[in-house]
Amino acid sequence: MHNLFHDAKVAVVTADTAIDLSGFGSVLLIASAIADPAAAITFTVKEGSTTVFADAAVVPEHQLIGMPASLDGANSVVKIGYLGAKQYLFLTPSAAPDAMHVILSSSANAPVA
């Protein structure tokens, strides 16, 4: 999957905050744990047509690449691809990972800066 990202925009992700996919054809969610978490960190991905988290629905697993995903040790990384068509995406971890990022790619009509 990493070979598909040519014109990419990278951003830090905050839990349950809307990720706007407007103008992009590909999305990759990345989370990492440097220190060994007390328990495995699992992730829920939600999608919606608005920025309101409460209105978002859980993405069906057939629209996700790399699920179910969990961070369960030191220096672990999770990569989740999304194949849906909604405008907004939300990432919810069961506990706070050390970092969460999104890579938006295949920009049809969105500027990449």
The owner of tokens 């990972």 is: 97
Q: What's residue 98's pLDDT?
A: 86
pLDDT in tens, 21-41: 988 888 899 998 888 877 788
Structure token digits, residue 18 = 């809307």
Query: What values do phi and psi take at 10, rounded to 5?
Result: -110, 140
Q: Which residue has the higher pLDDT, 39 or 55?
A: 55
pLDDT over threshold 70, residue 5 = no
Q: How far is the C-alpha of 10 from the C-alpha of 13, rounded, in Å?
A: 10
